[in-house]
Amino acid sequence: MLRSAVTTERSPRGQAVLEQLLENADIAQADSVPVCQDTGTVWVRVELGAEECLCGDVVAEVNVAVAQAYHDAHLRMSLVNDALFDRSNTGDNTPAFVDIAWRPGTGATVHVMLKGGGSDNASRVEMLAPDAGIEGVRRVVLEAVEARATGACPPLLIGVGVGATFDKVAGLAKRALLRRLDEPSADPKLAAFEAELLSAVNATGIGPAGLGGDMTAIGVQVLTAPCHIAALPVAVNLGCCAVRSVTIEVGS
Amino acid sequence: MSSPTRIDLPVSREVLAGLRVGDEVRLYGPVFTARDATHAKLAESLERDDRLPFGLEGQTLFYAGPTPPAAGRPAGAVGPTTAKRMDGTTPLLLEAGIVATIGKGLRSAEVREACVRTGSVYFAAVGGAAALLATFVAGSEVVAWPELGTEALVRMQLEGLPVFVAIDTQGADLYADARAAWRAQSEGER
């Protein structure tokens, strides 16, 4: 995706930034060096087949795996013990942030995302009134981008959640980041809305690295859900150009 | 775009005064990594002693927290973190003798004004290019606060780190200007 972007980006400075990002990806792969020094918080979503019966503490097992992986791969330890009262490093990048859900069938689907702090900081949740509608959602997305995109390492992948409740809508936005860029939304209404949001974001001129240009975002991905009759929750989770996620099928 | 300007660090404010917003620069020489927790320590130290510790006068701060280096390498992945979080402390540090900072993203009006008042520059490096940027680091050593882990004050020797001038000594701001300029230009083309 980024490779083709270099040819369409019209800003010379934007092109120079995209070329740095491509060279970065090649070096990271060849030398086994992380693409970004912020190797992130680990977010894991386990979708367990409903026909399975799982005993034991899944969350504890995830934390053991995270601690081992961060140690062995020389990744950065980026977590503190308490947000307010003890900002000493936990030393092993745990705890991971784990969701557990169910899906039909056997086995499990495991999603893992490493998310940098800068782009998560630039994210937001707003509780709109239902009559704000599609226009309201568009405003929240564009305001998040306008206010904070330059520090979130564009070109961005933007996850948008609409619906559910105050606590769940942010998770919806994060899950929206999991969809592969080459898989458009199955719902044509949603696909059209995503395309419209992407073109509005890219008309801001913020550009690669926020230094001016066409490509502020590479994709906008939206997930919607039921919600209360009085509510229109919206969450925007900005993903940086180095957002890293993988989906693994286990035993199905 | 014109070819990059070479800047050798530590750099004088006279040389910095010649840079203009948007200039592509390659940095050579020592910088000191400092991010959130390091800034709290620097502010404490400045408050207590009324001067910067560890000979930081005239030096450049790099807002970065690298990954640990793999065996035999001078640096792990290293790149800029969001500068905005350091905005509260930056004017004090510039007044006390820091001449330049390296980070990413838009900064406050107070930092812009402090750059003008003190003749300092803010450089932007590309975020998310840490494997590439690490190839421009020749060596690093912890100077202070090793207990902060990735947030320790580290002296890092640069060999041509690519950056852009994001706030110059006249207070021009690349993050604000480039975007407006690009928007105007692309609207003109439509």
CB of B32 within 8 A of CB of B143? yes
Question: Which residues in chain B touch residue A23, judged by CB atoms under 8 angstroms apart?
Answer: 129, 132
Across A147-252, the runs of DSSP E, i.e. the strands, are 156-164, 217-227, 232-239, 244-250
Active site residue B39: yes
Residues A80 and A194 in one domain: no
- As a whole number of angstroms, the distance between CA A36 and CA A18 comes to 15
Q: Kindly identify which residue of chain A lies nearest to residue B175, measuring between CA atoms.
A: A211
A11 found inside a domain: no
Alpha helical stretches, state H, chain B: 13-17, 36-49, 90-96, 109-118, 130-134, 174-189
Average pLDDT on B84-113 reads: 98
Inter-chain contact A151–B83, Cβ cutoff 8 Å? Answer: yes
Across B52-188, the runs of DSSP E, i.e. the strands, are 60-62, 100-103, 121-124, 137-144, 153-167
Inter-chain contact A39–B69, Cβ cutoff 8 Å? Answer: no
Last residue of a domain, one of A115, A143, A164: A115
Inter-chain contact B135–A75, Cβ cutoff 8 Å? Answer: no
**Residue B142 phi, psi (nearest 5):** -75, 130
Residues A123 and A221 in one domain: yes
Residues A169 and A210 in one domain: yes
Residue B72 has pLDDT above 90, yes or no: no
Residue of A6, A33, A77 to mutate when probing chain B, most B C-beta within 10 A = A33
Count the domains in chain B. Answer: 1
A7 found inside a domain: no
Residue A44 pairs in a beta bridge with A98, A112
Closest CA relative to residue A247, chosen from A154, A128, A142, A108: A108
Number of C-beta neighbours around residue A151 at 10 A: 27
Please list the pLDDT of chain A residue by residue as tens digits (252 residues): 777 778 889 999 999 999 999 999 999 999 999 999 999 999 999 999 999 998 899 999 999 999 999 999 999 999 999 999 999 999 999 999 999 999 999 999 999 999 999 999 999 999 999 999 999 999 999 999 999 999 999 999 999 999 999 999 999 999 999 998 888 899 999 999 999 999 999 999 999 999 999 999 999 999 999 999 999 999 999 999 999 999 999 997
Question: Which residues in chain A touch residue B178, judged by CB atoms under 8 angstroms apart?
Answer: 13, 205, 207, 211-212
- As a whole number of angstroms, the distance between CA A49 and CA A143 comes to 39
Which pLDDT score, from 0 to 100, does residue B172 have? 97
Inter-chain contact A151–B82, Cβ cutoff 8 Å? Answer: yes
- As a whole number of angstroms, the distance between CA A246 and CA A227 comes to 29
Q: What is the CATH number of the domain that holds B146?
A: 3.20.130.10
B1, B66, B183: residue with CB nearest A13: B1
A78, A206, A211: residue with CB nearest B164: A211
Residue B190 has pLDDT above 60, yes or no: no
A48 found inside a domain: yes
Q: Which range of residues forms the domain containing residue B97?
A: 5-188
Last residue of a domain, one of A63, A98, A115: A115
Residue of B2, B67, B87, B163 to mutate when probing chain A, most A C-beta within 10 A = B67
Residues A57 and A78 in one domain: yes
Options B35, B39, B104, B107, the catalytic residue: B39
Q: What is the CATH number of the domain that holds A231?
A: 3.30.1330
Residues A104 and A128 in one domain: no
- As a whole number of angstroms, the distance between CA A151 and CA A120 comes to 10
Residues A218 and A124 in one domain: yes
pTM for the predicted model, two decimal places? 0.94
Q: How many CB pairs under 8 A join A and B?
A: 164
Residue A41 pairs in a beta bridge with A115
Residues A219 and A147 in one domain: yes
Residues A131 and A192 in one domain: yes
Q: Kindly report the CA angle at A189 between A158 and A187, in degrees rounded to 5? A: 80
Residue B102 pairs in a beta bridge with B62, B123
Inter-chain contact A204–B130, Cβ cutoff 8 Å? Answer: no
Which pLDDT score, from 0 to 100, does residue B188 have? 73
Residue of B85, B126, B190 to mutate when probing chain A, most A C-beta within 10 A = B126
* Helix, strand, coil percentages for chain B (3-state, nearest 5): 35, 25, 40
Q: Please write the tens of the pLDDT for every residue from B21-68.
A: 999 999 999 999 999 999 999 999 999 999 999 999 999 999 999 998
Inter-chain contact A118–B79, Cβ cutoff 8 Å? Answer: no
Last residue of a domain, one of A115, A135, A154: A115
Average pLDDT on B140-163 reads: 96
Question: Which residues in chain B touch residue A24, judged by CB atoms under 8 angstroms apart?
Answer: 128-133
Residues A70 and A171 in one domain: no
Q: Which range of residues forms the domain containing residue A96?
A: 41-115
Inter-chain contact B128–A213, Cβ cutoff 8 Å? Answer: no
Residues A145 and A226 in one domain: yes
A205 found inside a domain: yes
Q: How far is A118 from chain B (nearest CA, A)?
A: 6
Count the domains in chain A. Answer: 2
Residues A106 and A124 in one domain: no
Inter-chain contact A37–B174, Cβ cutoff 8 Å? Answer: no
Which 3 state secondary structure label does DSSP give A3?
A: helix
Residue B1 has pLDDT above 80, yes or no: no
Residues A125 and A184 in one domain: yes
Question: Which residues in chain B touch residue A32, judged by CB atoms under 8 angstroms apart?
Answer: 70
